[in-house]
């Protein structure tokens, strides 16, 4: 039994059909729109009303488009909805979620479904979502709380978790067995290497640290405590520059000051230097197959990086870093001998 639709509802139904079933590559004729409305909503819309509402949607700039059939290319004409996300953009966002290391399985699956719903039914992402993902389901609430604290210039308190031998997260504890509460002045939230981090300063000390958001739980905004100004830290008395902080810590290592490091590298490794250590690297003394570079980087991060790319890179200065790399290699050589 067909139901006559109230006039005000017709334009809504037409728009919903176009959003769901059409895109630039899948256009609908007026007759197809009419049939879908009858099939999905059990509503009949006469031809003249349908055409008038389609023209109105076109005039109102609601995202509805119409193209004539191209006789030369034999491209079909018809009505379609121009979605905010192209298929390539939707795919890129979904791939970003799949490679994230901080979103729990159920939340990631829900976000992917929302992105799919922003496109027509013709976009179906094929993905294999591994269930072995972070288990901290508080992460989105944590982000909201931390962003609010940052905007209001307040300190936060939270518990920090680490993995145990049972492969589950456990709250770190004090020596007496009570949960350890960390009080932190939050400054920035960043994502790098597929993980979210809070950059902030602990209650004690004069250093800025970072904390993995997927290991934070029980966040509480300390509304009566104003966060410590970043200019109070000797290193950041002229302001905190996030881009420099991130560039100097490719592995998000904490502790150790940043320093200028001179390296010799094969030309094949130039891309690795730029990818990890940034475009501020200064290259010089170029030969046919090698060159030198000076980079500013966290000492611990540079040690890890030099070990990772040891086949292509040699640290020349400072000597103290060369010594540390030599000691690590000597220890590794002894264990693998």
194-207 average pLDDT score: 86
Q: What is the pLDDT of residue 206?
A: 79
- Is 128:158 a contact under the CB 8 Å cutoff? no
How many H helices and E strands in the chain?
10, 14
205-209 average pLDDT score: 82
137-166 average pLDDT score: 89
CA–CA gap between residue 277 and residue 259 (Å, rounded): 12
Comparing 58 with 103, the larger pLDDT belongs to 58
255-280 average pLDDT score: 87
Q: Which residues pair with 202 in a beta bridge?
A: 184
Q: Is the pLDDT confidence value at 1 over 60?
A: no
Q: What is the pLDDT of residue 188?
A: 92
- Is 211:184 a contact under the CB 8 Å cutoff? yes
- Is 275:325 a contact under the CB 8 Å cutoff? no
Q: Which residue has the tokens 């009303």?
A: 49
Architecture of domain 258-336: 2-Layer Sandwich (3.30)
Comparing 76 with 325, the larger pLDDT belongs to 325
- pLDDT tens-digit map of 235-251: 888 888 888 888 778 77
Q: What is the pLDDT of residue 2?
A: 44
282-293 average pLDDT score: 92
163-186 average pLDDT score: 89
Q: Is the pLDDT confidence value at 133 over 70?
A: no
Domain positions in the chain are: 3-81, 139-240, 258-336
Q: What is the pLDDT of residue 135?
A: 65
251-265 average pLDDT score: 81
CA–CA gap between residue 175 and residue 173 (Å, rounded): 7
Q: Where are the alpha helices (DSSP H) in 120-174?
A: 139-151
Q: How many Cβ atoms from other residues are within 10 Å of residue 211's Cβ?
A: 21
The separation between the first and the last C-alpha atoms of the chain, rounded to the nearest angstrom, is 83
CATH of domain 3-81: 1.10.10.10
Q: Where are the alpha helices (DSSP H) in the chain?
A: 7-21, 30-41, 47-59, 87-98, 105-117, 139-151, 242-247, 270-277, 299-308, 319-336
Let me know if the fold of 3-81 is the same as that of 258-336. no
Q: What is the pLDDT of residue 93?
A: 83
Q: What is the pLDDT of residue 125?
A: 62
Q: What is the pLDDT of residue 3?
A: 47
Q: What is the pLDDT of residue 279?
A: 85
Whole-number average pLDDT of the chain: 86
């Amino acid at each position: 039994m067909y139901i006559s639709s109230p006039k005000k509802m017709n334009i809504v139904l037409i728009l919903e059909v176009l959003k769901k079933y059409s895109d630039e590559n899948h256009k609908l004729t007026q007759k197809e729109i009419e049939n879908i409305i009858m099939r999905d909503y059990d509503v009949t819309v006469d031809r003249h009303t349908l055409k008038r509402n389609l023209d109105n949607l076109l005039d109102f700039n609601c995202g509805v488009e119409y193209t004539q059939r191209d006789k030369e290319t034999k491209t079909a004409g018809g009505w379609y909805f121009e979605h905010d996300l192209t298929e390539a953009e939707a795919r890129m966002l979904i791939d970003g979620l799949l490679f994230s290391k901080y979103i729990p399985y159920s939340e990631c699956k829900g976000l992917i479904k929302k992105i799919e719903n922003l496109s027509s039914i013709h976009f179906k992402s094929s993905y294999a979502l591994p269930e072995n993902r972070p288990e901290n389901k508080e992460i989105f609430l944590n982000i909201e709380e931390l962003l609010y604290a940052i905007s209001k210039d307040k300190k936060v308190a939270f518990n920090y978790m680490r993995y145990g031998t049972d492969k589950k997260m456990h709250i770190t504890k004090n020596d007496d067995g009570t949960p350890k509460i960390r009080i932190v002045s939050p400054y920035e939230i960043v994502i790098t290497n597929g993980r979210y981090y809070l950059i902030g300063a602990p209650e004690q000390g004069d250093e800025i640290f970072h904390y993995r958001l997927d290991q934070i739980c029980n966040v509480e905004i300390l509304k009566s405590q104003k966060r410590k100004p970043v200019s109070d830290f000797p290193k950041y008395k002229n302001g905190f520059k996030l881009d420099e902080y991130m560039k100097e810590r490719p592995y998000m290592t904490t502790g150790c000051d940043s320093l200028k490091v001179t390296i010799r590298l094969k030309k094949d490794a130039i891309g690795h230097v730029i990818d990890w250590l940034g475009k501020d690297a200064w290259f010089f003394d170029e030969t046919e197959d090698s060159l030198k570079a000076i980079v500013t980087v966290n000492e611990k991060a540079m040690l890890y990086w030099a070990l990772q790319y040891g086949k292509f890179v040699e640290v020349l200065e400072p000597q103290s870093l060369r010594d540390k790399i030599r000691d690590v290699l000597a220890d590794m050589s002894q264990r693998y001998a």
